[in-house]
Structure 1
Amino acid sequence: MRACVALQKEVWNFSDLELVPLRMFVVAEKVGGQVIGAFAGNEMVGFALSIPGARGGRSYLHSHMLAVRKQYRNAGLGRRIKLLQRDDAIARGFELIEWTFDPLEIKNAYLNIEKLGTIARRYTVNQYGITTSPLQGSLPTDRLVAEWWLKSKRVEKLTRSGTNPGFIPLQSIQVPAQIYGWKSDPRTRQRAKEVQDRNRSEFLTAFASGLCILGYERDPRGNGKFLLGKWDENWLYKA
């Protein structure tokens, strides 16, 4: 588990104050959470950390971290780690895993929604406060809450066939491909902040009206697009 601490430092470049310490990984594993590692030989190249949670009388897992070493990205490893999380959670009787993700991270959003079948209908403003990670670009840590209903028709279909079940998109919210460069450069960071502010307002309004993120698209230029539709409780039922 010491390798998990080192890898999170490498991936997010947090200050020592913001690192999840070794003891937290040990505690999470012992109290019903998950610490799942991926290895190339003896080298840890990825991990996921989950902790148990409860809300509204329902127990679930909150997946706090998913890390993949840079040279092992874009090859499906993150998805494989998440599917191992799913298998373990189902074996232990869980039906839901949740996690938060930055809506400005296009690749991550695509993985969560189109590859794993999560939905999102909650938005948290500046969840962690301003962090030391350069990936955040000193912007507020706004997050969408991904809900992964592990046995639902939607998730079963996506994990088996890779096909997103059909729905009628009623609204879309755009993320420009240039967002990464804008965040990393102090001279253009205000542009990233304007995108974040605009999208925050659109998400909060859409969710308040009963819409839900059900799809995600990327165009050839790398721009991202959240697709929102009406929520249907039937999607939570087992396949």
Structure 2
Amino acid sequence: MSEQSQTEQSETVRAAYAQAAAAAAAAGVTVRLADPPDMAGVIGLFERTWGEGRSPDRSMLLALDYAGNTVLTAVADGKQVGATLGFLGWSNGLHLHSHMAAVVPWRRSGGVGFALKLFQRAVCLDHGVGEIRWTFDPLIRRNAHFNLVKLGAEIATFLPDFYGRLDDAITGSDQSDRFEVRWRLDSPRVHRALGGGHPPNWTTSEVLPLNVDFEQLRAEDPVAAAELRATSRALFGENLARGLRPELNTTNDYVFTTDAADRPGTSEPVA
């Protein structure tokens, strides 16, 4: 690597850590790599979110942490209020797979998850890893907005019933359809999102409304939730097979487009 490239990389890493520190300060937490004494708290956070026995055990977390993967904790007033776990993968290129992220209920929607993600990004860039991937339920609207708009990740593929039946505290008996997203950490799309820029007006001809609290629907009307799951599964599969990529429009509904993922936002000139 040339001296200029090394300088540019170090500047990118410094900026990433600065963004992560600013996000943590805004959320009122400190985010850091977990130490061995933190693992009981990490397990507690994961089990509070997904249910008893749903966390990797202490020995597994210690091994992953020792090997250099991202086992992160967010701390406020001496108490752990958030945690995330990611490990390296190399399918279709080297990346970090961000597998679990949990925040205590009373701190959700307060920026803790955002701070954890930005610190995870900084650590990856610091170690020469330029991409993070993870999966999420396409029908959970707040997660779709967080991933695609706030972070600037993009949908890579659709994985119907990826985990099979989970029977955990979140999914229950519902089918575990997932989008896999890729977060290209130093891309124009990510810089736009993290800088508070507006997404583009995507060129599209089809819309899938996401104007429902799917978790509430699943709890109150499982039949309607199953119908929406089936409808969305068909649309996602058909459109991705046609080479169309799902994005979110300004009302947080899915649209399907062939526009470049790094297309400039609405406040930027389009070439």
TM over 0.5, shorter chain? yes
The question of whether the paired residues in 2 share the 8 Å contact of 1:175 and 1:195 is answered with no
**Which of 164, 168, 178 pairs up with 1:133?**
168
Deviations 1:42-87 (A, max 9, x none): 211001110100023x210000011111000111211111111111
- Is 2:91 the counterpart of 1:55? yes
The alpha-carbon distance between structure 1 residues 163 and 152, as it changes in their structure 2 partners (threshold 3 A), is: same
- Answering whether residue 49 of structure 2 is matched by residue 11 of structure 1, we say yes
- Whole-angstrom distance in 2 between the partners of 1:131 and 1:55: 24
Query: Which of 109-118 and 26-35 deviates more?
Result: 26-35
Change (3 A) 1:23 1:166: farther
Aligned to 1:68: 103
Distance (Å, rounded) in 1 between the aligned partners of 2:199 and 2:49: 30
Aligned partner of 2:242 among 196, 204, 209: 209
User: Unaligned regions of 5+ residues in structure 1, if any?
Assistant: 219-223
Q: CA RMSD in A?
A: 1.8
TM-fit CA distance, 1:134: 3.2
How is 1:37-48 mapped onto 2 (pairs within 5 angstroms)?
37-48=73-84
Render the CA deviation track for 1:104-144: whole Å, top value 9, x for unaligned: 21111110011000110311111111112232141111100
Q: Which structure 1 residue ranges, 4+ long, deviate > 4 Å from structure 2? A: none
Contact 1:135 1:184 in 2 (8 A): no
Amino acid at match of 1:203: F
TM norm structure 2: 0.77
Matched residue type, 1:2: A
Q: Write the distance in 1 (CA, Å) between the matches of 2:172 and 2:113.
A: 23
AA partner of residue 63 (structure 1): S
The Cα shift of 1:166 comes to 4.9
> Alignment partner of 2:235: what SS?
helix
The structure having more radius of gyration, on CA atoms, is 2
- Contact between 2:201 and 2:249, CA under 8 Å: does it hold in 1? no
Say whether residues 1:84 and 2:112 are aligned partners.
no
The number of residues matched between the two structures is 225
Does residue 229 of structure 2 align to residue 196 of structure 1?
yes
**Structure 1 contact 123–144 (Cα < 8 Å) conserved:** yes
Cross-structure match for 1:161: 196
Which letter does structure 2 place at the counterpart of 1:190?
V
Name the CA shift for 1:216/1:133 in 2 (closer, same or farther; >3 Å). Answer: farther
- Does the 8 Å CA contact 1:47/1:66 hold for their aligned counterparts? yes
Q: Point out the structure with the larger strand share.
A: 1
Alignment gaps of 5+ in structure 2: 1-38, 264-271
